[in-house]
């Protein structure tokens, strides 16, 4: 079975770039680049020095990093700085600690079957020979690798030198005044892709960015602008790269505008009635797909593909590669993959694994964000899945199935996934017409400046690198020194949650909507896990927006109602021979006077699958009863309440001001 790898292609690029260095202007040291007044001028100076059109240099850099420097820390594929110069050796040296380190989650999450034992990936980092352009850039510029990794000016020069080297090797014209259209081949090569499809998709996105233009303030406070310019790239330069072309078999469920291939997850028996690594179905005919779940892999691309092709392991529908955004599909969307740790969610979702780490001081590439958003939008529009945070969710938003499983649920993609930017790329609609009187708030911090002081990214108790985050921290009172709120399932003794990066029980994330529970000065309270939870929300730098919608509250006369992690039918709905799956409440309760934002009203359903051939009673059928549930944003995770227990009301009714 074919295992795609970046190793041979990127190693060849490294060798040829170093050889080409003799044909390029060299500087004796990083100090040879005269400092310029701002980042915009730094791009222009590097482009002029190496004969690269400035808009090409800016376009490539934007698709790699959005011009951010990320404080000299590596991306999930070992890329550094605005130009994403790669050094896999430093990623390999990262501690092997991620979102699987303490989890006991059963990825299948179906109590009617034997639990799947959690398992760590054997190789948490990319192969060392696969991604090493920092060495090529060092040879081309004379700069030290450490400077190329940590100094934004030197890094930009290194990226310009690489582009010029690739352009010369193709026999294409070099010079700052050359037509950007002639740089298509060098841009495609810069992606580091191992196929023509992936290289072309990267280059197409760069030239689309040049055509649209961009302007933003970087994470280190630099305003950079790429003016819109119409360029018709000469795509014939791609043929000179000699890259393999991917087969696109019938039934591959990816838009044509992104690079995608079919690498199937095995569906086979392996003894004692056991089988793997997913279940057959016929969605959405058999059961509506409600969710798309965003994961990260906590492993390299090569390891991720190895795992998903193991029938004794688990499965997901798609994997996305960090360096260029390339996608592999493994399971048809009609079938049920084992990825979310909750069988109800698995049966009604599509799972996407993104190469990367939830912590470990790394960041997600723009190329991967963009192809992920294109894929998710394509799937959501085809399947009627709303583009909102009630339906496009992280693995960290999936609830435990029962009280005993809540603590073991995973927390990827973590607080450093940029949900606001991701939803901008999805072109998701926003409803921001509310006021404090409308009673709902959508979490919406400025990613770049919102920098919670998390700890434990690289080692327990050690402060994480300062970086932007989608998460706001929730406290028991409107004060910066107030304790964090308590998640009783994570800390049954009632002690506050912590700032450990994996401890998500006292935080809310961008795009999530909560019912307003109070306001005091610069602080806003929301209803969260059965309590008031306060976050800093000053008018001068708001971390949330007002919105409108629907909420639930217990029916009159009910002091509390139970909260569930799955929406299963009542016992009478199960046919003979199919074991009843208990409607088991979680540790939490929803009390009278509290309100929670509604995500959907759903039927009670259980998809029965227990044999490889569908021969067991009730197999490959959806069991439905009379129960109906309301999905709510109860904490950091979505949860469910019985429709019979609640009133469903417009959000302004009785809302605090």
Q: What is the 3-state secondary structure (H, E, C) of 488-550?
A: CCCCCCCCCCCCECCCCCCEEECCCEEEEEEEECCEEEEEECCEEEEEECCCCCCCEEEECCE
472-481 tens-digit pLDDT: 999 999 999 9
Supply 429's token pair.
Answer: 């609609």
pLDDT at 16: 41
pLDDT at 91: 63
pLDDT at 24 over 60: no
DSSP assignment of 3-56 equals ---SHHHHHHHHHHHHHHGGGS---SSGGGS---SSHHHHHHHHHHHHT--HHH
Handedness of CA 295, 296, 301, 302 (dihedral sign): negative
Task: Name which of 78-92, 462-476, 605-619 the model is least confident about.
Answer: 78-92
Residue found under tokens 């780490």: 357
DSSP 8-state assignment for residue 448: T
pLDDT at 114: 86
pLDDT at 17: 39
Nearest of 188, 194, 196, 185 to residue 245 by alpha carbon: 196
Cross-strand pairs, 630:
601, 641
Task: Provide mean pLDDT across the span 280-301.
Answer: 96
pLDDT at 648 over 60: yes
For 119, the 3-state DSSP assignment is: coil
Average pLDDT over the chain reads 90
Q: Is 294 exposed, middle or buried (0-12, 13-18, 19+ CB in 10 A)?
A: buried
93-140 tens-digit pLDDT: 655 554 555 568 899 999 889 888 756 555 544 444 447 899 999 999
pLDDT at 9 over 90: no
What are the CA-CA distances from residue 159 to residues 33, 129, 325, 365, 538 (Å)? Answer: 14, 19, 19, 16, 40
| Cα angle 284-289-290, degrees, rounded to a multiple of 5 | 155
Handedness of CA 164, 168, 172, 176 (dihedral sign): positive
DSSP 8-state assignment for residue 101: S
Task: Name which of 67-81, 199-213, 430-444, 643-657 the model is least confident about.
Answer: 643-657
Query: Which residues, in sequence order, are CB contacts of 277 under 8 Å at separation 6+?
Result: 265, 266, 267, 308, 310, 311, 312, 313, 314, 315, 338
pLDDT at 432: 78
pLDDT at 351 over 90: yes
Pairing between strand 349-354 and 79-80? unpaired
In the chain, what are the domains? 7-87+131-241 (1.10.530)
| Cα angle 240-244-250, degrees, rounded to a multiple of 5 | 130
The rounded percent of the chain whose pLDDT value lies above 70 is 89
Task: Provide mean pLDDT across the span 404-427.
Answer: 96
Cross-strand pairs, 585:
564
Handedness of CA 248, 250, 251, 253 (dihedral sign): positive
pLDDT at 92: 62
Using only C-alpha atoms, what is the Rg of the chain? Answer: 25
Contact 200, 206 (CB under 8 A): no
The rounded percent of the chain whose pLDDT value lies above 90 is 81
pLDDT at 359: 85
Contact 424, 407 (CB under 8 A): no
What are the CA-CA distances from residue 500 to residues 317, 338, 471 (Å)? Answer: 30, 27, 13
Rounded Cα distance, 287 and 635, in Å: 27
Task: Provide mean pLDDT across the span 151-180.
Answer: 97
Task: Provide mean pLDDT across the span 34-45.
Answer: 79
pLDDT at 14: 39
Task: Name which of 17-21, 498-502, 541-545 the model is least confident about.
Answer: 17-21
Contact 423, 387 (CB under 8 A): yes
Under the banding of pLDDT at 50, 70 and 90, the label for residue 31 is very low
Contact 82, 196 (CB under 8 A): no
Under the banding of pLDDT at 50, 70 and 90, the label for residue 13 is very low
pLDDT at 41: 97
Task: Provide mean pLDDT across the span 10-14.
Answer: 39
pLDDT at 542: 97
Under the banding of pLDDT at 50, 70 and 90, the label for residue 18 is very low
Nearest of 255, 273, 203, 214 to residue 43 by alpha carbon: 214
Task: Provide mean pLDDT across the span 401-413.
Answer: 96
Query: Which residues, in sequence order, are CB contacts of 480 under 8 Å at separation 6+?
Result: 536
Contacts 24+ apart (CB under 8 A), 241-248: 241/170, 241/185, 241/188, 241/189, 241/196, 241/199, 243/9, 243/193, 243/194, 243/195, 243/196, 243/199, 244/194, 244/195, 244/196, 245/195, 245/196, 245/197, 246/195, 246/196, 246/197, 246/198
Pairing between strand 585-591 and 596-608? unpaired
Helices (H), 309-365: 343-347
pLDDT at 89: 77
Q: Is 2 exposed, middle or buried (0-12, 13-18, 19+ CB in 10 A)?
A: exposed
Q: Is 284 exposed, middle or buried (0-12, 13-18, 19+ CB in 10 A)?
A: middle
Task: Provide mean pLDDT across the span 389-406.
Answer: 97
Under the banding of pLDDT at 50, 70 and 90, the label for residue 594 is very high
pLDDT at 650: 94
pLDDT at 654 over 60: no
Q: Is 57 exposed, middle or buried (0-12, 13-18, 19+ CB in 10 A)?
A: buried
């Amino acid at each position: 079975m074919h295992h795609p790898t970046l190793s041979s292609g990127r190693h060849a690029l490294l060798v040829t770039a170093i050889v080409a260095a003799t044909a390029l202007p060299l500087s004796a040291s990083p100090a040879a680049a005269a400092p310029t007044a701002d980042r915009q001028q730094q791009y222009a100076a590097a482009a002029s020095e190496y004969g690269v059109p400035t808009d090409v240099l800016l376009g490539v850099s934007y698709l790699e990093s959005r011009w951010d420097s990320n404080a000299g820390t590596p991306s999930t594929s070992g890329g550094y700085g605005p130009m994403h110069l790669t050094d896999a050796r430093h990623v390999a040296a990262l501690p092997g600690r991620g979102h699987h380190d303490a989890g006991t989650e059963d990825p299948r999450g179906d109590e009617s079957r034997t639990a799947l034992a959690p398992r760590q990936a054997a190789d948490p980092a990319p192969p060392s020979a696969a991604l090493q352009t920092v060495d090529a850039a060092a040879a081309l510029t004379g700069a030290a690798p450490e400077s190329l990794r940590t100094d934004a000016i030197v890094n930009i020069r290194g990226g310009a030198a690489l582009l010029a080297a690739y352009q010369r090797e193709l026999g294409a014209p070099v010079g700052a005044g050359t037509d950007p259209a002639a740089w298509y081949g060098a841009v495609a090569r810069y992606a580091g892709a191992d196929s023509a499809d992936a290289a072309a998709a990267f280059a197409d996105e760069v030239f689309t960015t040049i055509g649209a233009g961009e302007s933003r303030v970087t994470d280190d406070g630099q305003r950079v602008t790429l003016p819109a310019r119409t360029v018709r790239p000469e795509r014939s330069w791609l043929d000179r790269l000699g890259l393999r072309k991917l087969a696109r078999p019938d039934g591959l469920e990816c838009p044509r505008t992104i690079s995608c291939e079919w690498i199937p997850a095995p569906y086979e028996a392996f003894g004692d009635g056991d089988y793997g690594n997913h279940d057959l179905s016929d969605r959405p005919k058999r059961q509506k797909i409600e969710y798309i779940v965003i994961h990260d892999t906590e492993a390299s691309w090569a390891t991720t593909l190895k795992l998903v092709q193991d029938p004794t392991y688990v499965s997901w529908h798609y994997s996305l590669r960090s360096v260029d955004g390339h996608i592999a599909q493994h399971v048809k969307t009609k079938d049920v993959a084992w990825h979310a740790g909750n069988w109800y969610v698995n049966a009604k979702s599509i799972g996407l694994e993104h190469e990367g780490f939830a912590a470990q001081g790394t960041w997600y590439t723009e190329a991967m964000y963009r192809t992920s958003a294109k894929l998710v939008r394509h799937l959501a529009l085809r399947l009627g899945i709303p583009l909102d945070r009630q339906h496009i969710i992280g693995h960290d938003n999936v609830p435990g199935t029962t009280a005993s499983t809540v603590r073991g649920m995973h927390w990827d993609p973590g607080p450093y996934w940029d949900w606001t930017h991701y939803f901008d790329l999805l072109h998701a609609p926003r409803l921001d017409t509310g006021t404090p009187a409308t009673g709902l708030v959508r979490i919406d911090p400025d990613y770049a400046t919102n920098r919670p002081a998390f700890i434990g990214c690289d080692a327990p108790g050690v402060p994480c690198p300062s970086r932007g985050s989608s998460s706001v921290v929730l406290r028991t009172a409107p004060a910066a020194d107030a304790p964090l709120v308590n998640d009783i399932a994570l800390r049954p003794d009632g002690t506050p949650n912590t700032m450990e990066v994996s401890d998500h029980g006292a935080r809310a994330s961008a795009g999530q909507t909560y019912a307003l529970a109070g306001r005091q000065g610069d602080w806003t309270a929301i209803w969260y896990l059965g309590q008031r939870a306060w976050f800093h929300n000053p008018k001068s730098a708001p971390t949330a927006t007002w919105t409108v919608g629907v909420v639930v509250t217990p029916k009159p006369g009910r002091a509390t109602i139970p909260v569930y992690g799955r929406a299963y039918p009542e016992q009478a709905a199960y046919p003979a021979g199919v074991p009843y799956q208990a409607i088991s409440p979680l540790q939490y309760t929803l009390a009278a006077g509290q309100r929670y934002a509604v995500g959907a009203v759903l039927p009670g359903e259980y998809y029965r699958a227990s044999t490889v051939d569908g021969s067991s009673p009730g197999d490959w059928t959806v069991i439905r009863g009379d129960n109906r549930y309301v999905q709510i944003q109860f904490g950091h995770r979505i949860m469910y309440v019985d429709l019979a227990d609640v009133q469903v009301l417009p959000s302004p009714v009785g809302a605090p001001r």
